[in-house]
Amino acid sequence: MHRILAALAAVLFLSAPAHAAASGAPAVSPDFVMGRPDAPVLIEEFASMTCGHCARFSNDVFPALKAKYIDTGKARYVLRPLLTSPQNVAAAGFLLARCAGPNGYYRVVEGFFRRQEEAYRTGDVRAALIAAAEEGGVSGPAFNACLADPKGQEALDAELEKASGRDVVSTPTFFFNGVKARAGEMNLEGIDAAYAAALKARR
């Protein structure tokens, strides 16, 4: 947990204008899985909020994946966090997403990915985090309270450990039903092939 506490210091300092009371932080939830629980294929993406390749996948490819596989009940999807540079920003983004709860988690993630390029261009990462968090319902005093919540930090540490032992060294990295499909961005054709292989392996 110490690495996250240290990494968050800069973000907390940048976002100090809110009334940062430690109490009142939203409850931390477990894994946030998108899609039907009985879907035959689980797609896992190890990603970082500060990864440009992850943002491009989220913005350009994920909507088609969601429409074709998740919305139709063919697959479940979960984003698993890794921290890439700047780690304080990545950690803050994931903590804010967790604080948004099941209904807001992916709104925060996708909201920051949409703003990532502009945030890097302007240097105003704080504004991008605040705007993405607001999309998930985390605003005002809850913003700083979320980042300061030790339970959230412990939960994120536990999530980061899930990359250990799974040969995940870069983002994004994709697994289909526990089998590593690719390290690096995937297009829809690659997703189709990996999905078909995962479905075939079930038979």
Token code pair at residue 191: 């997703």
Q: What is the side-by-side order of every strand in the sheet holding 41-47?
A: 33-34, 75-81, 41-47, 173-176, 179-183
| Yes or no: domain 2-201 corresponds to CATH 3.20.20.70 | no
Average pLDDT over residues 153-166: 87
Domain ranges of the chain: 2-201
Sign of the alpha-carbon torsion through 22, 93, 173, 65: positive
Token code pair at residue 63: 């909507």
Token code pair at residue 34: 């998108």
- 8-41 pLDDT, tens per residue? 434 544 443 333 333 343 343 447 899 999 999 9
**Which residues, including other chains, have CB under 8 Å from residue 75's CB and lie 6 or more apart?**
35, 39, 40, 41, 42, 43, 69, 195
**80 touches 42 (CB < 8 A):** no
Question: What global pTM score does this model have?
Answer: 0.85
The distance of Cα 147 from the centroid of its chain, to the nearest Å, equals 15
Q: Tokens 């945030």 identify what position?
A: 119
Gap between the Cα atoms of 141 and 143, Å rounded: 5
- 56-76 pLDDT, tens per residue? 999 999 999 999 999 999 999
Gap between the Cα atoms of 173 and 181, Å rounded: 8
**77 touches 37 (CB < 8 A):** no
- 174-194 pLDDT, tens per residue? 999 999 998 889 999 999 999
Gap between the Cα atoms of 8 and 106, Å rounded: 21
Token code pair at residue 123: 């240097």
Token code pair at residue 97: 């997403």
Asked whether residue 173 carries a pLDDT value surpassing 90, the answer given is yes
8-state DSSP, 170: S
